[in-house]
Chains A and B, each alone.
Chain A
Amino acid sequence: MKKSDRVDFLLVEDNPNDVELILRALDTHNLAGKVFVVQDGAKALDFLFAKGEYHDRETRQVPKLILLDLKLPKVDGLEVLRQIKADERTKIIPVVILTSSQEEKDMVESYRLGANSYIFKPIDYDQFVMTISEMALYWLALNKLPT
């Protein structure tokens, strides 16, 4: 990706099947083109804070929205969330937790750390597509974000 490219979504998801399904769901509203996918928590942090393989990224170009899975390799979702919300550069980016976990403690901890939404991935494909696309429309169209 080029330095100047603005990313709409940063999708942090390790399951390639889920990635594909999410991209397809976003595609139903032609939103899939502006998604950047990373497979683990460490890469998500590298991307956001322009470290490691993303060291030459322009950090002022923050994604409009972060879709974050909780169960992630290397650095888990809650830790990624904590670091995002602890840093001035990234704390204003809305973070939507997109997870299979219905655990009350995960939900509470996510909100406590400043998550903006907590969405449970439906199993049923129709519901899945509906959930993802409604979520995307809400955050990118209905909801107003600073530019």
Chain B
Amino acid sequence: MIKPIFIDSYYTLLLAYVSHPDEKYLATAVDLGQQLVKDNVQPEDIAEIHETAIKRLGQEYPDATVGETAQLVSAPLMEMLMAYGLAFRAQTESNKKLMTDLQSHRDHLEELVDERTKDIESFSYSVSHDLRAPVRAISGFSRILNEEYGHLLDQEGKRLLDVIIDNTQYMGQLIDDLLTLSHLGRKEIDIVEIHITELVKNVVAELTNEVPEREIRWKMNEIANSRGDVTMIRIVWINLLSNAVKYTRSMKKAMIEAGSRDGDNEVVYYVKDNGIGFDMEYSHKLFEVFQRLHSSKEYSGTGVGLAIVNRIIQRHGGRVWAEGKVNQGATFYFTLPKKEDER
């Protein structure tokens, strides 16, 4: 649809041109052409503007000579406008080509990033994979040494051997956690509807079994269902809940709460405990690989668990964060996007 304002200004110009066909109006034609281009008037519309203006000129000045003069003198004007049109069309086409080029560069870049990410992941996979064999040997043979020749060692000898065994165990756990992390980065996500209240109940039952000596008060609210990969979301809950169990160890009355609340386009899930908490200053480090806020002597672990949580939630299009205070508990949050029609 051509804006009437273009036709009006073209008509005025044409009229002035017919009455005084001199250089002055050619300059105005340049302006008009530039304006048309700026306003995104399509080249093919320029001809139509011209036709309409001529027609109106004929109607308002029925004198045949005016019409003829108009046709005659407006020819160079038309030519100029058409030149703009052509330039504009060329510009549009070159823009289009640039956009396509840009898009294909972007796609290529993304491909490269994907490729590199895969390279890095398969590298870290094969490294951790190949590391398992020697660690298995150290672990196995030091255990055999302990069992079969332990009686030949004095106390200090035994202590040294235990150091080796402990560290091998730790390294084994580390490698397995890294493998899990890299595996989660590459595994395809299989999205299904997950009954979270049920899932959390099961995880809590398992965790409670592992620490029969602990007295923990669980507060399980009704938790909203999620859409996600069951295996992965389960790993998220296991990590968060077992952390809560671990870091409330020193509390006489441990309390762990899990729940969810409705957000705009997402559901926010949380696990809250009254454990040893953490310093908010370091909260950004919590979700990075190998970052620990407590010594592994106090609280065992490899520092990969929350990185796994982060990776899984990121891959589901959600966010993770944590709030806490030293000795006043911690709350870990994660979100999962709602299905389009539930927003």
Contact = CB atoms under 8 A, between A and B. Distances in A.
Contacts of A125: 136, 139-140, 143-144
Size band of the interface chain B makes with A: 10 to 19
Interface stretch (A14-22, A50-58, A73-81, A133-141): A14-22
A124 B133 contact: no
B175 interface: yes
A121 interface: yes
B124 interface: no
A107 to B, nearest CB: 12
A24 interface: yes
- Most B CB contacts (10 A, CB to CB) among A15, A103, A125 go to A125
Contacts of A102: 129, 179, 183
A123 B143 contact: no
Given A102-B179, A102-B183, A104-B187, A128 B132 contact: no
A61 interface: no
A30 interface: no
A101 interface: yes
Interface in A1-35: 15, 17-18, 21, 24
Interface residues of A, number: 17
A100 interface: yes
Interface in A27-76: none
Given A17-B137, A21-B136, A124-B139, A101 B129 contact: yes
Contact of A17 (B125, B133, B169, B187): B133
A18 B143 CA distance: 14
B179 A18 contact: no
Contact of B137 (A18, A124, A126): A18
Nearest to B147: A125
Interface string A115-147: 000000111111010000000000000000000
A123 B176 contact: yes
Contacts of A17: 133, 136-137, 140-141
Contacts of A128: 136, 139-140
A21 B143 CA distance: 11
A15 B136 CA distance: 11
B135 interface: yes
Interface in B139-191: 139-141, 143-144, 169, 172, 175-176, 179, 183, 187
A102 B125 CA distance: 9
Interface in A84-112: 100-104
B184 to A, nearest CB: 12
Contacts of A18: 133, 136-137
Contacts of B176: 123
Given A123-B176, A124-B172, A100 B137 contact: no
A12 to B, nearest CB: 16
B139 A100 contact: no
B44 to A, nearest CB: 56
Contacts of B169: 124
B137 A21 contact: yes
B132 A100 contact: yes
Contacts of B139: 123-125, 128
Contacts of B144: 24, 125
A124 B179 CA distance: 15
B187 A123 contact: no
A69 to B, nearest CB: 10
A123 to B, nearest CB: 3
Contacts of A15: 133, 137
B122 to A, nearest CB: 9
A123 B136 CA distance: 5
Contacts of B183: 102
B136 A121 contact: yes
A51 B213 CA distance: 60
B173 to A, nearest CB: 8
Contacts of B133: 15, 17-18, 100
- Most A CB contacts (10 A, CB to CB) among B125, B136, B141, B187 go to B136
15 contacts: A17-B133, A17-B136, A17-B141, A21-B137, A21-B140, A24-B140, A100-B129, A100-B132, A101-B129, A102-B179, A121-B136, A123-B172, A124-B139, A124-B172, A128-B140
Given A123-B136, A123-B176, 6 more contacts: A18-B136, A18-B137, A21-B137, A122-B136, A123-B175, A124-B169
Please provide the 4 A-B residue pairs with the shortest distance between their CB atoms, ordered closest to farther: A123-B172, A17-B137, A125-B143, A125-B140
